[in-house]
Structure 1
Amino acid sequence: MSDKKIPDEALRAPLEALSRQDPDVAKAYIECGLPPTRSQDAGFNGLVGMIISQQVSVQSAKAILGRLLEQVGEITPENILALDDDGMKAAGLSRPKQRYTRALAEDVLSARLQLERLSEMADDDVIDHLIQAKGIGRWTCEVYLLFALKRPDVMPAADLALQEAMKHLKGLENRPTPKEMYELSESWRPFRSAGARFLWHYYRHAGIA
């Protein structure tokens, strides 16, 4: 996953639309501006990157992914299954993440997961398909929809940084639950992906992190 410090102009129109309907977004948008560009590879390579990024910082995930690439050359199901435990450990993958990446590789090679079909599926169908894989929960599915498939109306409501950002944005006493995140962002449809991107940006820019 790349996170360049270049403003993402594709977010300008949806964030301006959100600003017109949500005064809290409008105020924060004036303060923080556009989020930086950020992208994620689709397919097996992208999902491995998302498994690696679970519960670690962006910097740590990049370092682990870089070491994994040094081990395998190219992240493919075949190369992942050929890498032994020592190689996985040297790359920095925890034992659970070793199991998850291998299980994902097996699912792809057996066609239990058909990643090439995801771009044709509705958002809920993508989630239902991916969540079959070991180690892939709703958060990973929603982040994959948002960054890899570039779907416009996704809110990864279980993300703790988004919850904390929403708490500050809305002046809440407590961090909202995933259910409350969906409720609070309901009025942001059909631009919830832009709203989520902005909340991550706000989380870093406003010193909440």
Structure 2
Amino acid sequence: MNASFNQQNFHSLCDDLASRDASFNSIISAFGYPPFWGRPNTFESLVHIILEQQVSLASAWSALQKLKNRTGQITPETLLALSDEELKACYFSRQKTVYAKHLAENLLYGVLNLQQLEHLKDEEVRSKLTAIKGIGNWTTDIYLIFVLHRTDIFPIGDLAVVNALKRLKNLPTNTPKERLLQIAEAWKPFRTIATMLLWHEYLSRRKIK
């Protein structure tokens, strides 16, 4: 199984990165340590991540709360009991309705087992999840970071991370993805910690503005 981190060693891992890259030291100096973001390994958490695809965090949270109010508890069974119209009333797009139902069916019929994912390597987790309709690399990256707390994930498809990295390194907006991945290579095997620091910088700066 790939390495994971926890609340006890999180700050020391941030400090280690800050000692290797002055950009991270400047983030911690300006904004403190990032929160220890985490979510339980549940169907609800994966639905939440699907809802976050290509929309604001606030919109996704609003849809999740609407669903929770309607179902009481978000499980594969309670979600599949809802019609497409009922899910639409919970702010689910037609596409995300298909994705959430497909995920629910795969869990219900034993095609996917979330607890088993905890014992697999990162790439094995990626292979299992991306086989599910509507779950791509970004969704898998967020799951590996927030739910399994794997240490070495860099979500190149995440705009907030990419924009924070470009700003910190004074890179042009059209910097190719390959160059960003090359920069992130220097942060191995703790690219997840770097990602959390970049999110923290991005969110803190927006709040200040």
Structure 1 length-normalised TM:
0.90
Q: Provide the residue aligned with 2:52 in structure 1.
A: 53
SS in 2 for 1:174: coil
Q: Provide the residue aligned with 1:151 in structure 2.
A: 150
CA displacement 1:104-139 (0-9 Å, x = unmatched): 111112222222210000001100110001110000
Pick the structure with more strand per residue: 1
Contact 1:163 1:176 (8 Å CA) reproduced: no
Q: How many percent identity over aligned positions? A: 36
Q: Provide the residue aligned with 2:3 in structure 1.
A: none
Q: Provide the residue aligned with 1:196 in structure 2.
A: 195
Contact 2:40 2:147 (8 Å CA) reproduced: yes
Contact 1:163 1:177 (8 Å CA) reproduced: no
Amino acid across the alignment from 2:182 = E
1:176 shift after superposition: 4.1
Q: Provide the residue aligned with 2:133 in structure 1.
A: 134
Q: Provide the residue aligned with 1:5 in structure 2.
A: none
CA displacement 1:20-75 (0-9 Å, x = unmatched): 11122222321121112322221312111111111121211111101001111111
Which runs of 5 or more structure 2 residues have no equivalent in the other structure? Answer: 1-6
1:204 shift after superposition: 1.9
Instruction: Decide whether aligned partners of structure 1 residues 69 and 174 sit closer, same or farther in structure 2, where only a CA change above 3 A counts.
Output: same
Q: Provide the residue aligned with 1:36 in structure 2.
A: 35
Q: Provide the residue aligned with 1:172 in structure 2.
A: 171
How many residues in Structure 1 have an aligned counterpart in Structure 2?
Answer: 202
1:9 shift after superposition: 7.0
More displaced, 85-94 or 120-129? 85-94
More displaced, 188-197 or 20-29? 20-29
Amino acid across the alignment from 2:13 = P
Hey, what's the Cα distance between the residues in 1 that align with 2:107 and 2:19? 43
SS in 2 for 1:38: coil
SS in 2 for 1:120: coil
1:177 shift after superposition: 4.0
Contact 2:27 2:197 (8 Å CA) reproduced: no
Amino acid across the alignment from 1:71 = R
Asked if residue 97 in structure 1 is aligned to residue 96 in structure 2, the reply is: yes
Hey, what's the Cα distance between the residues in 2 that align with 1:70 and 1:26? 42
Q: Provide the residue aligned with 1:121 in structure 2.
A: 120
1:10 shift after superposition: 4.8
Amino acid across the alignment from 2:59 = S
Contact 1:157 1:179 (8 Å CA) reproduced: no
Q: Provide the residue aligned with 2:26 in structure 1.
A: 27
Instruction: Decide whether aligned partners of structure 1 residues 130 and 59 sit closer, same or farther in structure 2, where only a CA change above 3 A counts.
Output: same
Which structure's relative contact order is higher, taking Cα pairs within 8 Å and 6+ residues apart? Answer: 2
Structure 2 length-normalised TM:
0.90
More displaced, 175-184 or 129-138? 175-184
Amino acid across the alignment from 1:186 = E
More displaced, 19-28 or 100-109? 19-28
SS in 1 for 2:37: strand
Amino acid across the alignment from 1:38 = W
Amino acid across the alignment from 2:99 = Y
Which runs of 5 or more structure 1 residues have no equivalent in the other structure? Answer: 1-7
